[in-house]
Chain A
């Protein structure tokens, strides 16, 4: 039971980290490698607000997510939008280059020191007589669920959400039918970067802020998105949970050092059996 809970926690962080990546793939049609560095920016923004400017942690989180979202949009406008017409490979290389630029700039500012938010260790919650979950981990699960529900609501109940789904299917057709793809694209970058920032904060909450945070996550994020069906948001969410659970539950029978390898074994299996991923693609 404990391993299942650990897997859910891992999966929940992966959900938040992967959805944005998946959204950008779906609408812009390229792998945004710089997404990993947005996690890094989010974490260090929160550190700036919490530990340098002495904001309460909740406020620091909110400001950091907003700041990362805005920064993500600005970066997209400066670096991606102008080369959009040049094709996905140009976008891909731009995103890789941008990753290193962000990494270098953050490193120049913060230095190589490892930092933490300095949060108190949270207490454990008793579930069925045993302590298997901390309040901090419960917070991660709840935040993740909230993101899933809010996103589901936006996609299914709002005009912009429906527009996003249409744009995801066929950008040109959506534009012809009067959907403002420019505006929607801005929303996608805002949401994607904001969620990446949030994931970065959640990761740093339970561990440390270190420069490798973005690089450590991007490969797992990519495997989640592949398993989920490249751009299918619900598939991505499901894949994040499956990969999270597999990595943690597998440690019961295989040595823990193979934990990450399990994620990639799943990717290989999915690509062999079901190349289109768990879902067919599309936003729903």
Chain B
């Protein structure tokens, strides 16, 4: 009995301390280069943890935007932008702590980068602190009608992307599918609107299986899908579970066509599940037409600067645009502050105004006293009252081990 009690005490202590420690992983690991910049901009995201694979390209994108702004002489008569990157360890707790650090210690004017769950958690805090939160990849439908005041996103909402996906599938004659969805908010939200539209358009979901991350095997989940005998399966989950699921499916001879969530539409997905297994997998992601001049310029400059091609699914251009738009907003307001960004960001990105495609063009027009309409590298980025943008989309397919754009859908595809 003594041993049982001792075990119970140990387990309780272990769990308490582990939980406490788990929260503390979120503490910000500032590695910002304090290179004498005058305006601090926060990059608040998971440099480690499950978002780690995404953020490395996002950081490059924000650095690219910063360098362009500073090379053009900065804003507000020569003030330079300085990026402070804060690691949230891909946790909501980390984002909250990191945001506090950016606001109170670093005096940052904006926090760019949080994912869905962190955006939701910081939604009330941002207007109080007067430091906007901006996301390039928070697609949750939960954010559809709650942002717009110190909360903006250049990521397309899951509700519109879900509709586009459903419409594309129905129009291509796929009337029956199965769904595998991760047991977390981002994945559930990704599927929610799609399911509604797809069934509304006459499609039938034969089976929907929710899975947990970090399991040893997913054979049972796959068997449930197999029992429904679908031709196509939609996978909405994280990249770390994908190899186990896709490899097991291949191994068991489940010869389904796959559509995947935009979250895994990255080169790393192909690398970890293997070229052979990945071949033919499709996704629909918010993406600018690859023939668009701004997007082509972004890709060319990125490749020249970082000696690597940017992956579409990492929302790099969206991240880049957030900093350019914020800088233009501060210039328009004549003040380097979060309030200035919040007040002016729509004015510099939405019509009316002279259409500008680069920061330099925008700066020139603003200094000449003209209104501007910044056309982003990720799309027109016109923010609505809730801080959302209308996006264009692309059907991507893995061909010869790379994501290739198959078809482009402009923002009015759903009209």
Contacts and interface: CB of A to CB of B under 8 A. Distances in A.
Contact of A33 (B18, B239, B243): B18
Interface stretch (A2-10, A43-51, A67-75): A2-10
Interface stretch (A147-155, A172-180, A210-218): A210-218
Given A2-B223, A92-B14, A116-B272, A121 B216 contact: no
B53 A114 contact: yes
**Which range contains the number of B residues in contact with the other chain?**
35 or more
Interface string A81-97: 00000001100110010
Given A2-B223, A96-B21, A206 B253 contact: no
A196 B4 CA distance: 24
Contacts of A222: 11, 14
Contacts of A114: 53, 239-240, 243, 268, 272
A31 B10 contact: yes
Interface stretch (B44-52, B156-164, B165-173, B333-341): B44-52
Contact of B7 (A115, A124, A210, A230): A230
Given A92-B14, A248-B220, A206 B247 contact: yes
B305 to A, nearest CB: 20
B3 interface: yes
Interface in A206-245: 206-208, 210-213, 215-217, 222, 226, 230
Interface in B309-350: none
B358 interface: no
A212 B239 CA distance: 13
Contacts of B274: 116, 118, 121
A257 B213 CA distance: 9
A31 B217 CA distance: 26
B276 to A, nearest CB: 8
A33 B14 contact: yes
Interface stretch (B111-119, B204-212, B390-398): B204-212
A116 B211 CA distance: 21
Contacts of B121: none
B308 interface: no
**Which range contains the number of A residues in contact with the other chain?**
35 or more
Given A92-B10, A121-B250, A257 B183 contact: yes
Nearest to A261: B212
Contacts of B210: 255-257
B6 interface: yes
A129 interface: no
B146 interface: no
A158 interface: no
Interface stretch (A57-65, A105-113, A182-190): A105-113
Given A131-B252, A230-B7, A9 B13 contact: no
A239 to B, nearest CB: 14
Given A112-B47, A114-B240, A13 B216 contact: yes
A206 B49 contact: no
B36 interface: no
B220 to A, nearest CB: 4
Contacts of B248: 206
B251 interface: yes
Contact of A31 (B14, B240, B241, B250): B14
B225 to A, nearest CB: 10
A89 B53 contact: no
A55 B252 CA distance: 28
B272 A211 contact: no
Given A33-B14, A124-B251, A212-B240, A230 B219 contact: no
Contacts of A215: 22
A115 B17 CA distance: 29
B411 interface: no
B214 interface: yes
A111 B243 CA distance: 18
A100 interface: yes
B34 interface: no
Nearest to A216: B214
A214 to B, nearest CB: 10
26 contacts: A13-B216, A31-B7, A31-B14, A33-B14, A88-B6, A96-B18, A100-B21, A107-B48, A114-B268, A134-B252, A206-B216, A206-B244, A207-B216, A207-B241, A207-B244, A210-B50, A212-B240, A216-B213, A217-B214, A226-B11, A251-B221, A256-B210, A257-B211, A259-B212, A259-B220, A281-B3
Given A33-B14, A92-B14, A107-B48, 5 more contacts: A5-B219, A93-B17, A208-B240, A222-B11, A260-B212
Interface of B: 3-4, 6-7, 10-11, 13-14, 17-18, 21-22, 47-50, 52-53, 55-56, 183, 209-217, 219-221, 223-224, 239-241, 243-244, 247-248, 250-253, 268, 272-274, 276-277
5 closest A-B pairs by beta carbon, nearest first, are A112-B52, A216-B214, A207-B244, A257-B210, A6-B219
